[in-house]
Amino acid sequence: MLGVLGSRPGGRPGLKRYPGVLTSATLLAEKQGTRVVGYRIRNIQPASIWDRLGVRDEDLVIKVGTLKLQRTDDLVRVRSELRDATRLLIRIKRGTRPQALNLGPAQLRKIREEFEL
């Protein structure tokens, strides 16, 4: 089980802090042989960043924007992808089916504001 750290000091009142909500799910490395192919997301709390991104319990998150999720360090870098992207494609596996979650500028702007990115 992993938690992701990182925050902006002196955040605005009433907004959710990034690290608290990112750790509001269980992230488990999923391997094929010895290679990590993504992170299985479980126990997603309502209104967390994972929920807002459209990720569901038991989804395997393979890629966020240009970032393949293969190491713990990559999870920390998700924040930069969310902060810097004008559009964002999240590649997941839901059950046995590969899918793409497509977030546009308005959705990303709302998430950035809500989570202080």
pLDDT tens, position by position, 22-70: 577 899 999 999 999 999 999 998 888 899 999 999 999 999 999 999 9
The residues, any chain, with a CB within 8 Å of residue 66's CB and separated by 6 or more, are: 81
- pLDDT at position 17: 52
- At 1, list the tokens: 């089980």
> What's the pLDDT band for 5 if we cut at 50, 70, 90?
very low
Rg (CA), the chain: 14
Q: How far apart are CA 51 and CA 21, in angstroms?
A: 10
User: Whats the size of the chain, residue-wise?
Assistant: 117
Architecture of domain 18-115: Roll (2.30)
> Mean of the per-residue pLDDT values for the chain?
83
- pLDDT at position 22: 56
